[in-house]
Amino acid sequence: MSDQQPLRVLITGAASGLGAALARAWEDRGADVLRTDRAPADGILTLDITSDADWAAAREHVEQTWGGLDVLVNNAGIAGGGRLDVAGIDEWQRLVDINLLGAVRGTATFTPVFKRQGSGRVVNVASLAGLVHPAGMGGYNATKAAVVALTETTGHELAAHGVSAHVVCPSYFRTNLMAGVEGRDAALQQVMTKLVEDAPLGPDEIAAAVLDAIDAGTELIIPDEAARAAYQLKVTDRPSYDAVMRAQARKLDAVAE
């Protein structure tokens, strides 16, 4: 990537939350940022990440406007999930189509551009749920874990073409993630909403940590201390990690009673 021109960055789900914070952070560093989101708005390119046609239009826009792309940020996603005997298969399918296949579609769309350039970065926003797996969140956990795997695969597959891949796995932070969440498991939604509302960090703090980590070449980005502590517990003391997760499962069942 050339130092002679601004970094060219496309971000999905950039109308609010972490996507908007990442856009601001990159712009503060002099980048040209294309904000995209499903809902039409001023300064936003309409991009439904479940639409192949929208992705093709986004690539055409990028190539006509910039001639190429330096950073693709697959940020758009939804919260959701539910206990195994409560959530419906339709809820699982929606999570897969948006959280996983949205990133697949984006990466597949711009891989030819990156190969042609011989450079690029793919940044996939997953979640701590991609690394540690609380009860009641099977669909969300599974799709975010799949995004972690997709990112590693992308990095290996495209390394010879000068392309790096990075996955972002934050814990809960203050955002509008729960807005518009629909699901059958009301107890899970209650618990998740409380965790988001009580989170100590906001999206701008997470975004700053993410950009610093990308600049350092970090591939697995765990941008906050709470997330790092939870992952470290799983890696270094599995019995204690399992005990914590099972205690959380009992608490979720108690909320549902």
Active site residue ranges? 140
How far is the C-alpha of 180 from the C-alpha of 118, rounded, in Å?
40
CB of 73 closer than 8 Å to CB of 11: yes
CB atoms within 10 A of CB 205: 16
Q: Where are the alpha helices (DSSP H) in the chain?
A: 17-28, 52-65, 89-95, 101-117, 138-158, 186-197, 203-215, 225-236, 238-256
The residues, any chain, with a CB within 8 Å of residue 245's CB and separated by 6 or more, are 132, 133, 134, 135
122 beta partners: 72, 165
Q: Report the phi/psi class of residue 82: left, alpha or beta, with left for phi > 0 and alpha for psi in -120 to 50.
A: left
